[in-house]
Amino acid sequence: MDKLKFKLVIAYDGTAYQGWQVQKIGTGVQEKIEAAFGKMFPGVQRIHSSSRTDTGVHALGMVAHVEIPRAEFKMPAGRLALALNAFLPDDIRVLSAVRAPARFHARFDATGKQYRYFIWNHPAMNPLLQNRAWHFPVKLDLAKMRTAAKRFIGKHDFRSFAATRSYEMESNVRTMTRCDIKKSGAQLTFIIEGDGFLYKMCRGIVGTLVQVGQGKIPLGTVAAILASRDRRAAGMTAPAHGLVLWKVYYARRAR
């Protein structure tokens, strides 16, 4: 069957969802988007994403691709995002939907991802950031955290910072290209970029950096924690609701 391929950029508030993927119990964001497609294009069975996100995690730049039977697609391509949003709940939005080459794959063509984690570091929580930032009322040593963050950059085995999955990963080695902490008033923004991420790895890194900022984990132990390849050696896992999949990167194809 002749099909048209589209690349989608999707944003969602993950508060009400059990992550991205279609779930046996509970609702995944993917399920809602596939239902919207099904109302317009019965031939669409599945959309394929660049990433998975966990329960309660948000996204601003999730990328997915979909194949629509050409015979069913009877609208201008520029109207697809608008049409989909009419069938989606307010906490999920397709930001863009553009034609993609037949060979494009949202997951396998991705060259890197950026996650951002938000902390409100003040005795009183900002009510406008409820469900969007981790309220950490204890003062943190930002200088120590920034120094420790630099130690994550490079190619490492990140097993110490990932939660256990029900299956063994082929490799736990990833290359991190950025680990910055920005401060704006009481809000701390952790910007973490790399070629890929293990299960709950970003949240393990943020939790560990926070405990460095508290003085509970010595600044100089990050290298030893990485080398141990043991989750028990690292710090806590930061809560899901502060994490956002910010952007997915793709290589520019030569014309």
Number of domains in the chain: 2
Residue 94: CATH number of its domain: 3.30.70.580
User: Which of 49, 74, 99 finishes a domain?
Assistant: 99
Range of 218's domain?
Answer: 112-250
- 132 and 54, same domain (yes or no): no
* pLDDT of the residue at 253: 61
Whether 106 is in a domain gets the answer no
Are both 72 and 145 inside the same structural domain? no
Domain boundary pick from 99, 124, 144: 99
255 located within any domain: no
Task: List residues with catalytic annotation.
Answer: 54
Per-residue pLDDT 10s for the chain (255 aa) are 699 999 999 999 999 999 998 777 789 999 999 999 999 999 998 999 999 899 999 999 999 999 999 999 999 999 999 999 999 999 999 999 999 999 999 999 999 999 999 999 999 999 999 999 999 999 999 999 999 999 999 999 999 998 876 556 678 899 999 999 999 999 999 999 999 999 899 999 999 999 999 999 998 899 999 999 999 999 999 999 999 999 999 987 644
Does 107 fall in a domain?
Answer: no
**30 domain residue, yes or no:** yes
Do residues 91 and 128 both lie within one domain? no
For residues 151 and 197, state if they share a domain: yes
Of 77, 99, 121, the one marking the end of a domain is 99
User: Both 240 and 170 in a single domain?
Assistant: yes
Residues 196 and 235 in one domain: yes
Same domain, 226 and 142: yes
Please tell me whether residues 200 and 128 are part of one structural domain.
yes
**Do 134 and 92 fall within a single domain?**
no
Q: Are residues 121 and 235 in the same domain?
A: yes
Q: What is the 3-state secondary structure (H, E, C) of the chain?
A: CCEEEEEEEEEECHHHCCCCCCCCCCCCHHHHHHHHHHHHCCCCCCCEECCCCCCCCEEEEEEEEEEEEHHHCCCCHHHHHHHHHCCCCCCEEEEEEEECCCCCCCCCCEEEEEEEEEEECCCCCCHHHCCCCEECCCCCCHHHHHHHHHCCCEEEECHHHCCCCCCCCCCCEEEEEEEEEEEECCEEEEEEEECCCCCCHHHHHHHHHHHHHHCCCCHHHHHHHHHHCCHHHCCCCCCHHHEEEEEEEECCCCC
Residue 126 and residue 95 share a domain = no
